[in-house]
Amino acid sequence: MHILIVEDDRLIAENLYDFLQSCGHQCDFASSLAAARPLLAEGGIDALILDRNLPDGDGAALARSLRSAGKMLPILMLTARDTLDDKLAGFDAGVDDYLAKPFALKEVEARLLALQRRHTALPRSDAGPLSLGPLTYDASAQEVRLHGQLLSLPPKASRLLAVMLPHPNRLFSRRELEIAIWGHEQASSDNLRSVLHTVRKAVGDGVEIQNIHGLGYKLVSR
pLDDT tens digits for 108-127?
999 898 887 776 555 554 55
Which domains, and CATH codes, for the chain? 2-120 (3.40.50.2300), 130-221 (1.10.10.10)
Query: What pLDDT, on a 0 to 100 scale, did the predictor assign at position 175?
Result: 83
Task: Report the pLDDT value the prediction gives residue 48, as an integer from 0 to 100.
Answer: 95
Question: Which CA distances in Å does 122 have to 57, 108, 139?
Answer: 31, 22, 8
Q: What is the pTM of this model?
A: 0.59
C-alpha span between 88 and 33 (Å, rounded): 21
Q: What's the whole-number mean pLDDT along residues 133-145?
A: 81
165 or 140: which carries more pLDDT confidence?
Answer: 165
Number of H helices, E strands in the chain: 8, 13
Which pLDDT score, from 0 to 100, does residue 167 have?
83
95: DSSP letter: -
What is the secondary structure of 154-217 as a DSSP string?
Answer: -HHHHHHHHHHTTSTT--B-HHHHHHHHHSS--SSTHHHHHHHHHHHHHHTTSEEEEEETTTEE
Name the pLDDT band for 27 (thresholds 50, 70, 90).
very high
Largest CA-CA distance found in the chain, in angstroms, rounded: 56
- The dihedral through the CA atoms of 146, 201, 119, 13 has a sign that is positive
Taking only the tens place, the pLDDT of each residue in 56-79 is 999 999 998 888 777 778 899 998
Q: How many percent of the chain have pLDDT more than 70?
A: 94
Distance, CA of 111 to CA of 3 (rounded, Å): 13
